[in-house]
């Protein structure tokens, strides 16, 4: 149900806006990598403006995603360690301590 809502409420209007942007900006524009000699045909390409806009959007999305992934690396590492510790020490796998009423399995030694 949530997927259908996202499709109808967000993705369809976004697609309409992007198509309108592409139609409005379909005039060919020269893009050159040589600022000192803009007429150099080897370093100049001519494409519709919307191609450059979408390429810039895609590059920004990739750079932002990589930066976020790198920043959150320590949290993923901590979560993996906690999961490994949880799996390595599961109270139901250990025999209960005998002799004292209410005594459960021994606690793990603190790590330094």
pLDDT tens across 73-87, in order? 999 999 999 998 888
Please check whether residue 2 lies inside any domain of the structure. Answer: no
pLDDT tens figures, 25-65: 999 999 998 888 888 888 899 999 999 999 999 999 999 99
Please check whether residue 58 lies inside any domain of the structure. Answer: yes
CB 109 within 8 Å of CB 100: no
Q: Does the pLDDT at position 97 exceed 60?
A: no
Number of domains in the chain: 1
Please check whether residue 50 lies inside any domain of the structure. Answer: yes
Mean pLDDT of all residues in the chain?
A: 84
What is the pLDDT, as a whole number, of residue 110?
75
Domain of 18 in residue numbering reads as 10-89
pTM beyond cutoff 0.75: no
Please check whether residue 85 lies inside any domain of the structure. Answer: yes
Please report which residue ranges of 31-112 form alpha helices under DSSP H: 49-71, 73-88
User: Please, which residues bridge with residue 32 across strands?
Assistant: 44
């Amino acid at each position: 149900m949530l997927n259908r809502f996202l499709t109808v409420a967000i993705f369809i209007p976004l697609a309409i806006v992007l198509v309108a942007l592409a139609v409005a900006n379909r005039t060919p524009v020269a893009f050159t990598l040589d600022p000192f000699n803009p007429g150099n045909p080897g370093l100049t390409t001519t494409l519709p403006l919307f191609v450059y806009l979408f390429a810039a959007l895609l590059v920004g999305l990739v750079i932002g995603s990589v930066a976020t992934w790198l920043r959150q690396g320590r949290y993923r590492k901590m979560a993996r360690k906690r999961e490994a510790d949880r799996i390595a020490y599961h109270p139901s796998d250990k025999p209960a301590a005998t002799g004292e009423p209410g005594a459960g399995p021994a606690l793990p030694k603190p790590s330094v």
